[in-house]
Amino acid sequence: MTRIMFLRIALILSSVVVIGTGGTDTAVPQEYVFSIPSLDIADPTHVFITSTSREPILTTLRIPGVYEVNNTINRYNPADIQLSIDVVGRDVRVNPGDQQHNKTIIIQSSAEILPFVIDNDYAGGDAYLVSPTSRLGTQYHVASYKSYSTATPSCFCISSVYSNTWVKITTPAGQTHRITLNRYESYRFDGGEDEDLSGTFIQSNKPIAVISGVYTQVPEGVLYGDGLIEQLPPVRNWGYNFALTPFLSLNSGYVYRVFTTIHSATLQMSDGSITHIAAESFHEEDVRGNTVLSFTSDQPVMVAQYMKGWHSNNPGRGEPSMIIVTPIAAFTAEVTFPYCVYWVSYRIS
Domain that holds residue 294: 238-331
Q: How many domains does the chain have?
A: 2
Instruction: State pLDDT tens for residues 279-335.
Output: 999 999 998 888 899 999 999 999 999 988 766 666 666 678 889 999 998 887 767
Q: Mean pLDDT across the chain, nearest whole number? A: 81
Residues 118 and 263 both lie in one domain:
no
Instruction: State pLDDT tens for residues 221-241.
Output: 555 667 788 999 999 999 999
Residues 162 and 292 both lie in one domain:
no
Residues 23 and 156 both lie in one domain:
yes
Residues 225 and 144 both lie in one domain:
yes
Domain presence at residue 174 = yes
Residues 121 and 222 both lie in one domain:
yes
Domain presence at residue 316 = yes
Residues 217 and 230 both lie in one domain:
yes
Domain presence at residue 321 = yes
Q: Is the pLDDT assigned to residue 341 strictly greater than 50?
A: yes
Residues 233 and 244 both lie in one domain:
no
pLDDT at 101: 66
Domain presence at residue 1 = no
Instruction: State pLDDT tens for residues 119-173.
Output: 764 455 678 899 999 999 999 999 998 877 666 788 899 999 999 999 999 999 8
Mean pLDDT, residues 53-82: 93
Residues 217 and 246 both lie in one domain:
no
pLDDT at 280: 93
Residues 171 and 206 both lie in one domain:
yes
Residues 232 and 244 both lie in one domain:
no
Instruction: State pLDDT tens for residues 1-54.
Output: 333 332 333 333 434 444 343 444 567 999 999 988 766 555 668 899 999 889
Domain presence at residue 343 = no
pTM: 0.85
What is the SS3 string spanning the chain? Answer: CCCCEEEEEEEECCCCEECCCCCCCCCCCEEEEECCCCCCCCCCEEEEEECCCCCCEEEEEEECCCEEEEEEEECCECEEEEECHHHHCCCCCCCCCCEEEECCEEEEECCCCEEEEEECCCCCCEEEECCCHHHCEEEEECCCCCCCCCCCCCEEEEEECCCCEEEEEECCCCCEEEEEECCCCEEEEECCCCCCCCCCEEEEEEEEEEEEEEEECCCCCCCCCEEEEEECCCHHHCEEEEEECCCCCCCCCEEEEEECCCCCEEEEECCCCEEEECCCCEEEEEECCCCCEEEEEEEEEEEEEEECCHHHCCCCCCCCEEEECCCHHHCCCCEECCCCEEEEEEEEC
